[in-house]
Amino acid sequence: MVEKTTELYRGKAKTVYATSNPDLLVLHFRNDTSAFDGQRIEQLDRKGMVNNKFNFFIMQKLEEAGIPTQAVELLSDTEVLVKRLTMIPVECVVRNVASGSLVRRLGVQDGLELNPPTFEMFLKNDALHDPMVNEYHVRSFGWATEEQLARMKELTFQVNAVLNKLFDDAGMILVDFKLEFGVFNGEIVLGDEFSPDGCRLWDKATRNKLDKDRFRQGLGGVVEAYEEVANRLGVKLD
């Protein structure tokens, strides 16, 4: 029996706890919802529960497809047991459709389908507003090796292939998403979470936003949109 012990880290939406097993952690998904590098934070009822169950569902789908993840066991409505990774401080982003910062940076049309999808990397650093970096930065500063980078990119596109179909079958467009990776027993493993907090999802017919852009843009109905996505995928929330 693994027991939760001390709090190790409190992020913007999750709290990380050590356990009686040094190789395992507990992630607690809170109701906190943040935007603009934490400058705006609100409490949204049920959000922690929805994201926790949504994330575990997605991680199971990815494991079934042969993609290693840190998820081990769903512990409760808001907690999940995970492998303790040595995290790589780089976000891997795939964009299937132009939106968000890509549109602002390059002046391309919002909603433009990207063929092939783009792959970008960003340094995880709120103080610097998560600046975009390239593979030379990652290698030069020792954030990851060339082999680790290649594996991260490979896995990111595998995730894109699996989830593109999953969301498409449920009537949604996977616009873009970010992933974080870490090392466990020498292997690159998908960490952190996959939820509507870290991706863009549009309804295929109406292009209605079903992700955290509803919070960023003040559209309302944030948790309701998350729940709709979960229900379309068959995630059991209650």
pLDDT tens for 137-168 read 999 999 999 999 999 999 999 999 999 999 99
The CATH code of the domain that includes 213 is 3.30.470.20
Which residues in the chain show pLDDT less than 50? none
**Structural domain includes residue 205:** yes
Residues 211 and 100 in one domain: yes
Query: What pLDDT, on a 0 to 100 scale, did the predictor assign at position 14?
Result: 97
Do both 137 and 205 map to the same domain?
yes
Residues 104 and 79 in one domain: no
Asked if residue 226 belongs to a domain, the reply is: no
Give domain status of residue 191, yes or no: yes
Q: Is residue 229 part of a domain?
A: no
Query: How confident is the model at residue 37, as a pLDDT?
Result: 66
Q: For residue 36, what pLDDT is reported? A: 74
**pLDDT of 1:** 81
Unique residue bearing structure tokens 């992933």 = 179
Domains held by the chain: number = 2
91 shares a domain with 79: no
113 shares a domain with 65:
no
- pLDDT for residue 41: 85
- SS3 per-residue string spanning the chain: CCCEEEEEEECCCEEEEEECCCCEEEEEECCEEEECCCCEEEECCCHHHHHHHHHHHHHHHHHHCCCCECEEEECCCCEEEEECCEEEEEEEEEEEECCCHHHHHHCCCCCCEEEEEEEEEEECCHHHCCCEECHHHHHHCCCCCHHHHHHHHHHHHHHHHHHHHHHHHCCEEEEEEEEEEEEECCEEEEECCCCCCCEEEEECCCCCECCCHHHHCCCCCHHHHHHHHHHHHCCCCC
**Domain region containing 70:** 4-83
Structure tokens at 112: 């433009």
